Amino acid sequence: MEEKLSTVAKSFTSSPIQELSHLAQRCSAINLAEGFPDFPAPAHIKTAAVSAINSDFNQYRHVQGLCDHLAIMAKKMHGLDVNPLTDIAICCGQTEAFAAAVFAIIDRGDEVVLFDPSYETYEGCITMAGGIPVFVALDPPHWTLDPNKLLQSVTRRTKAIVLNSPQNPTGKVFSKDELETIAGVCRTWNCLAITDEVYEHITFENEKHISLASFSGMQERTIITSSLSKTFSVTGWRVGWAIAPAFIASAIRNIHVKITDSAPAPFQEAALTALRSPSEYFESLRRDYESKRDYIVKLLAGIGFKIEFKPQGSIFLFAEIPESCLLSDVEYVKELIKQAGVVAVPGRGFFHTNLSMKKISQEDFSYQERYIRFAFCKSDTTLAAAAQKLGKLSDATGRLKLHHSDT
Ligand SMILES: Cc1ncc(COP(=O)(O)O)c(C=O)c1O
């Protein structure tokens, strides 16, 4: 009966990364792979959720106050004039907001520009909608955007450019000049932008998140997507949103109603409490993550990882495998699980361009096979336990010793 599956379903096969995650479970490895926190969500928002359930906000619901507050935040953070009655769709996380946005604007054969590396889910959504992903490689080690590469990838079939900043997996925050380049291309080619701003509140040192929609002529062509998930450590609550010109927001709302009807009612209520958190909350979020970033950078640099780019935002470190090590990213993670009891994500799952099809010798890796993504959205106890496990495998100089095992 398997032939009954749709072509789309058949195209989504399990990846080597999913297999590694089974191995990690069998080995009870410390999880630095997945991008969700293992520490509690803030008490004030949990109380709000419990209280919403007890107040019987348990049916289909649209919390208009949430849109009103998002409009206030968009003005305060980015100077955007957003009509809370017409320009916002509340969805089940950024994931649904993005999918609904794609279905709202993409027709079969439309091209959509994505940066490479990028978060994995965009490509699948775009192909499900019949769109054609076109990847523009960012240049390592700082993941710089080469304006020429972007220009060469845009055609009259380009419907939209997808931008995620701060970025998963690299931790890059696109610079003002890079954003101006992207905005210029959108204006010149009259195309739309879909932004994923889930890490908008997690930036380090002097980095500040700037929304692409705030550039001249961009609000009228940008769909901002974001969510509660990362800012409030509640990835399971599934509350997110899209902010867009009224005609697009209306299309997104129509699609959202057909797919999920509404985001979870009690968590929409709690989202309002969350977004109204005092500025100290957002400052301490940034401070805490910056100290976790510093901890993991020091730890991995100490055991030999090549870290030429320190994350400027997000909850991930994209680290290059020690030069002397002749394992690929997938092999390295496999050995990391088996020998050190720590799991992270091989970088290749985030790359789509230039992957060398055929490996001639062990040294012949393309850079897409040399990166490992570590999530540092973990408690200090988890990070210290990972440090201890990695320390046990280090040699006298402190360098991690991983070897190819046969089992
Ligand atoms: C860049 C990015 N966007 C979106 C998501 C998922 O967001 P949500 O939980 O709001 O669907 C993630 C989760 O890891 C992410 O890294």
- Looking at the chain, how many residues does it have? 407
337-384 pLDDT, tens digit each? 989 999 999 999 999 876 544 444 455 568 888 999 999 999 999 999
Q: Is 235 in the pocket of ligand 1 (CB under 6 A)?
A: yes
Backbone φ and ψ of 283, nearest 5°: -65, -40
Please tell me the predicted confidence (pLDDT) of residue 356: 45
Q: What is the largest CA-CA distance in the chain?
A: 64
Q: Is 93 in the pocket of ligand 1 (CB under 6 A)?
A: yes
What lies within 8 Å, CB to CB, of 306 at 6+ separation is: 319, 320, 321, 322, 323
Q: Is 229 in the pocket of ligand 1 (CB under 6 A)?
A: yes
What lies within 8 Å, CB to CB, of 54 at 6+ separation is: none
73 with 207, same domain: the answer is yes
CATH number for the domain harbouring residue 70: 3.40.640.10
20 with 155, same domain: the answer is no
Cα gap 393→112, rounded to integer Å: 44
Residue that is last in its domain, among 254, 277, 300: 277
Instruction: Compute and round to an integer the Cα radius of gyration of the chain.
Output: 21
Q: Is 153 in the pocket of ligand 1 (CB under 6 A)?
A: no
Q: Is 313 in the pocket of ligand 1 (CB under 6 A)?
A: no
CB of 83 within 8 A of CB of 246?
A: yes
Backbone φ and ψ of 164, nearest 5°: -120, 110
> Does 46 map to a domain?
no
Nearest-CA neighbor of 82 among 276, 185, 215, 214? 214
> Does 49 map to a domain?
no
121-168 pLDDT, tens digit each? 999 999 999 999 999 999 999 999 999 999 999 999 999 999 999 999
More confident residue, 49 or 399: 49
87 with 119, same domain: the answer is yes
Statement: residue 22 has pLDDT above 90 = no
Number of folded domains that form the chain: 2
Please tell me the predicted confidence (pLDDT) of residue 360: 45
> Does 312 map to a domain?
yes
74-114 pLDDT, tens digit each? 999 999 999 999 999 999 999 999 999 999 999 999 999 99
256 with 354, same domain: the answer is no
> Does 398 map to a domain?
no
> Does 298 map to a domain?
yes
> Does 333 map to a domain?
yes
331 with 376, same domain: the answer is yes
219 with 317, same domain: the answer is no
The fraction of the chain above a pLDDT of 70, given in percent, is 95
Atom of ligand 1 nearest to the CA of 239: 10
223 with 235, same domain: the answer is yes
Q: Both tokens of residue 352?
A: 């789509």
211 with 319, same domain: the answer is no
> Does 285 map to a domain?
yes
CATH number for the domain harbouring residue 313: 3.90.1150.10
Q: How confident is the model at residue 17 (pLDDT cuts 50, 70, 90)?
A: low
Residue that is last in its domain, among 231, 249, 277: 277
Residue in the structure block whose two tokens are 């399990």 = 14
Nearest-CA neighbor of 238 among 74, 94, 86? 94
Nearest CA to ligand 1 atom 13: 35
122 with 232, same domain: the answer is yes
Please tell me the predicted confidence (pLDDT) of residue 324: 81
Atom of ligand 1 nearest to the CA of 167: 1
Beta strands in 38-95 (DSSP E): 88-91
Query: Can you give the pTM of this predicted structure?
Result: 0.95
Residues spanned by the domain of 61: 56-277
3-state secondary structure of 9: helix
31 with 92, same domain: the answer is no
Ligand 1 mean position to 95 CA, how many Å? 6
Residue that is last in its domain, among 258, 277, 296: 277
Q: Is 95 in the pocket of ligand 1 (CB under 6 A)?
A: yes
60 with 121, same domain: the answer is yes
71 with 154, same domain: the answer is yes
> Does 404 map to a domain?
no
Ligand 1 mean position to 63 CA, how many Å? 22
